[in-house]
Amino acid sequence: MTTLSPSGPVAGQRKVRRATMNDVARLAGVSIKTVSRVVNDEPGVHPSTAERVLAAIDQLGFRRNLSARNLRRGSSTGTIGLVLEDVGNPFYSGVTRAVEEIARLRGRQVISGSSDEDPGRERELALEFCSRRVDGLLIVPAGLQHSYLVPEMRAGTPVVFLDRPAGDVVADTVLVDNIGGTVEAVTHLASHGHRRIAFLGDAPDIFTANERLRGYREGCVRAGIGYHEELVAMGPHDESSVATTLQRLQSIREPATAVVAGNNRITVHILRALAGTAERPALVGFDDFELADLLSPPVTVIAHDASALGKAATDLLFARLDGDNSPPRRVVLPVRLVPRGSGEVHA
């Protein structure tokens, strides 16, 4: 890391007090209310007056204080809060982007934070956002306790849960068809002759992980290949534990010939563990990811759309803000199997 000092003038000297409407009014020789009118494009100001005011605003670099405005007006702060698991995860950054997009169209700013799967952190973020009086809240739940939100909801802050349902409050929720997805994955693999299909999922206390496991089980039963405890591993999270698990699955008495991965990170860990291995099991991953089609073999996935999820949730939120007070809805977005090769390997 190198550090260079620039030459030339420095833009900021030191701490000039910020101009207020009062300063603008004084400079323009009008009352503060007139400045307010100009700033808010209210009618009833003579053009020449308005011009003087605008000149003063420009000269002083005035920027109205939204804290004061929001306090006074009491209604909308023009912000919505987004609590997710990790912005760094491409799936959630896709969600974030979609949320931002729609919020922008509706003149709102997005405040977001990552819970890192920590319920305490989720709560902290959500309540912090409430203190800032966000107009609405989008939450990817980390925990199962959401009664802390009841006072906020009662006070009129709409809340939409996405990707996972809330634990103990009834509220709008947008999910993807987790069960249907893994059912389809197993069906697909079975139709290619696999009878020993393993499932590698996240910790089972995570809603999506559990649902996907249920789908896997149902898929196995439907395909007539039965559900076998020893083919399931929930929880392996990092690369090495995934590798170990894979080895085990391939060295048991009747080894797995195919694997269903419970989410995008697990899929990637599996791919890395498999790299350079001769004996590759067939693979179907939950969540699509960039470049899946360029790997060899290309990776078959259960795809669902991060931006569709974000959009559906945000649309729901804005419907509430627009006054929709019908009973809470639960929206389930479809998933689709994208066959690319890795799941079409014959047993």
Partner DNA sequence: CTGGTCACGGACAGCGTTGTCAGCTCGAGG
Partner DNA sequence: CCTCGAGCTGACAACGCTGTCCGTGACCAG
Segment 284-323, which members bind a copy of itself (CB under 8 A)?
A: 289-291, 293-296, 312
64 binds DNA (CB under 7 A): yes
- Assign residue 239 a region (left: φ > 0; alpha: ψ between -120 and 50; beta: otherwise): alpha
Would you say 102 and 311 are in contact if contact means Cβ atoms under 8 Å apart? yes
18 binds DNA (CB under 7 A): yes
Phi, psi of 33 (to 5 degrees): -65, -35
Pick from a copy of itself, DNA, none: which does 43 bind, CB < 5 to 8 A by kind? DNA
Rule CB under 7 A: choose which of 36, 89, 93, 187 binds DNA: 36
Q: Encoding tokens for residue 341?
A: 């090769």
Minimum distance between the CB of residue 266 and a copy of itself, rounded to whole angstroms? Answer: 14
- Looking at the Cβ atoms of 12 and 61, the one nearer to DNA is 61
- Which pairs from 20-29 meet CB under 8 Å and 24+ separation? 20/62, 20/65, 21/62, 21/64, 23/60, 23/62, 24/53, 24/56, 24/57, 24/60, 24/62, 25/56, 27/56, 27/59, 27/60, 28/52, 28/53, 28/55, 28/56
Minimum distance between the CB of residue 213 and a copy of itself, rounded to whole angstroms? Answer: 21
Minimum distance between the CB of residue 16 and a copy of itself, rounded to whole angstroms? Answer: 5
- Looking at the Cβ atoms of 72 and 154, the one nearer to DNA is 72
DSSP 233: E
Span from 25-33, 107-115, 174-182, 300-308 in contact with DNA (CB under 7 A) = 25-33
Neighbours of 50 (CB within 10 A): 17
- Looking at the Cβ atoms of 113 and 235, the one nearer to a copy of itself is 113
Largest CA distance in the chain: 90
Residues 37-56 that bind DNA (CB under 7 A): 37, 39-40, 43-46, 49
Pick from a copy of itself, DNA, none: which does 22 bind, CB < 5 to 8 A by kind? DNA
Distance (Å, rounded) from C-alpha 89 to C-alpha 265?
9
Minimum distance between the CB of residue 108 and DNA, rounded to whole angstroms? Answer: 17
150 binds a copy of itself (CB under 8 A): yes
Would you say 297 and 345 are in contact if contact means Cβ atoms under 8 Å apart? yes
Rule CB under 7 A: choose which of 51, 58, 59, 68 binds DNA: 68
Residues 12-41 that bind a copy of itself (CB under 8 A): 12-18
Residues 65-94 that bind a copy of itself (CB under 8 A): 65-68, 70-71, 77, 79, 86-90, 92-94
Distance (Å, rounded) from C-alpha 300 to C-alpha 342?
5
Rule CB under 8 A: choose which of 44, 131, 224, 278 binds a copy of itself: 131
Helix (H, G, I), strand (E, B) or coil at 269: helix
Distance (Å, rounded) from C-alpha 137 to C-alpha 314?
9
Where do contacts with DNA occur on this chain (CB under 7 A)? 18, 20-22, 25, 29-34, 36-37, 39-40, 43-46, 49, 62, 64-65, 68-69, 71-74
